[in-house]
Amino acid sequence: MSLSLQAGGAASRALPAQSTHADALTASNQATTRPITTGTSVLGIKYRDGVMLAADTLCSYGSLAKYKNARRLLGVNSNTLIGASGEYSDLQSVSDLLKANALEDRCTADSLYDEDNNEECAGEVWSYLRAVMYQRRSKMNPLWNDVVVAGFRQETDGRTSDSPFLGVVDKIGTAYEDDVLATGFGGYIALPLMREKFRPDMEEGEARALLEDCLRILFYRDCRALNRVQIAKVTKEGGVLVSDPYELDTYWDFKGFVLNKGELGTDGGW
């Protein structure tokens, strides 16, 4: 610390500079450098009548399973559904942004009747999120999420299309569509199973059973997964429906789970 010479010639230590309110605001306004409280995989699949998403309800604080009722499947409007993995607080920010846009659409609509309102379709929400994610990434302050968007496209005359929509946007703005999607660890384990079993004419029960099987396998294999899950769907007639959380039945007596793999004469692997 520097020395100063006070009146009378006495040497003393200079006082440190006083911090101002602006300095405090600047110090607190910093970019998130890594996700802290995170959710894992989100699965999505098209079926004959619409689109279905699935996710568990666990948020992990590092390796600690901290929040077991964090719902990550959210309805944006009457015909669009999103689900996200990654930082949960950023998902809340994305949800608030999309709901504010939906409210603005309703407030500025030409008609007060719900059937006449021209809401954003799933394709428009997906394109908007792609721009938001890329803009935040370009400012070196990304939203740490992979967001799956499900719903239906809109025809040029405003009618809802018959073809379902399923797309994903990651934290740097990369976006694509597919018939089956998975984020997080599900992209390595669940996605190959979903591609193998997928059919365009799948019934709702078949799609739900497939998603539940994939979530169950992720619970066995992913240390950040839970068997408490949610299922959500979007149909043209019924709109958005998100289930309450429920627990999957599990089975732990598989031979590979029971045998001791660390003994002599074994490879120690699965």
Residues with active-site annotation: 32
Residue 115, Cβ density class (10 Å: 0-12 exposed, 13-18 middle, ≥19 buried): exposed
Tokens at residue 86, please? Answer: 């990654």
Bridge-based pairing state of the strands 3-5 and 42-47 = unpaired
In the three-class reduction of DSSP (H, G, I as helix; E, B as strand; rest coil), residue 229 is classed as: strand
Look at phi and psi of residue 158 and say left if phi exceeds 0, alpha if psi is from -120 to 50, else beta.
left
The contacts of residue 121 (CB under 8 Å, 6+ apart) are: 79, 80, 151, 152, 153, 154, 160, 161, 165
Q: What distance in Å separates the CA atoms of residue 13 and residue 179, rounded to the nearest whole number? A: 70
Residue pair 241/53 in contact by the 8 Å Cβ criterion? no
CA-wise closest residue to 55 among 82, 89, 19: 82
Query: Which phi and psi angles does 56 have, rounded to 5°?
Result: -85, 180
